[in-house]
Amino acid sequence: METTRRVGVAVDFSPCSNKALKWAVDNVVRDGDHLILVTIRPDGDYENGEIQLWAVTGSPLIPLVEFSDPNTMKKYEVKVGDEALDIVQTVSTQKQVHVLMKIYWGDPREKICEAIDNIPLDCLIIGNRGLGTLKRAILGSVSNYVVNNGSCPVTVVKSSDHH
């Protein structure tokens, strides 16, 4: 008997993360899976009580019907892109996939690894912005960190844009 898988995709709603989301939907997600979008917001002084409530543990798992609503997402200060919404709404209908979102606040490298353990995820797909060697050395690569420190299989979907 096969159990339901929890497939995570790290998203910031950039073209690169949308590509990773599309790749995950086309190549990994199966009927009945849980597709969990993990998004990280920067640390900051948030006035919003909702954010203060979840700052340490991350938000509760937010179902697609709720994160499709801009008013709901406004309280988390997250703008879900139209392309990403289209991708997840389509897979939700066509493959009977349960789509959820989890929002964390802080360092993306640490919080994505935390999400892997706390949700927990069976696998994670993450995009790669394709930083050059120098920028990667200075800024660090989130995808590289997660590949080396994540406790589940991690797939990096490379950006095809060459700068």
Q: For the residues of 22-39, what is the DSSP string, one character each? A: HHHHHHT--TTPEEEEEE
Question: Any residues with CB less than 8 A from the CB of 145 and at least 6 apart, and which?
Answer: 109, 113
Greater confidence, 154 or 130?
154
How many other CB atoms are found less than 10 A from the CB of residue 92?
Answer: 18
Q: What would the two tokens of residue 125 be?
A: 């797909």
Strand-pairing partners, residue 6, are 34
Single-letter code of the amino acid located at 14: S
Mean pLDDT across the chain, nearest whole number?
A: 87
What is the reported pLDDT for 3?
Answer: 74
What is the reported pLDDT for 144?
Answer: 86
Residue 151 to residue 124: CA distance in whole angstroms = 10
CATH of domain 6-158: 3.40.50.620
Q: Summarize pLDDT for 81-91 with one digit per residue, the tens.
A: 999 999 999 99
Q: What would the two tokens of residue 153 be?
A: 């299989």
- Answer for the pair 116, 150: CB distance below 8 angstroms, yes or no: yes
What is the reported pLDDT for 77?
Answer: 83
120 prior amide bond cis, ω within 30: yes
Total residues belonging to the chain: 163
Q: Summarize pLDDT for 13-47 with one digit per residue, the tens.
A: 999 999 999 999 999 999 999 999 999 998 765 56
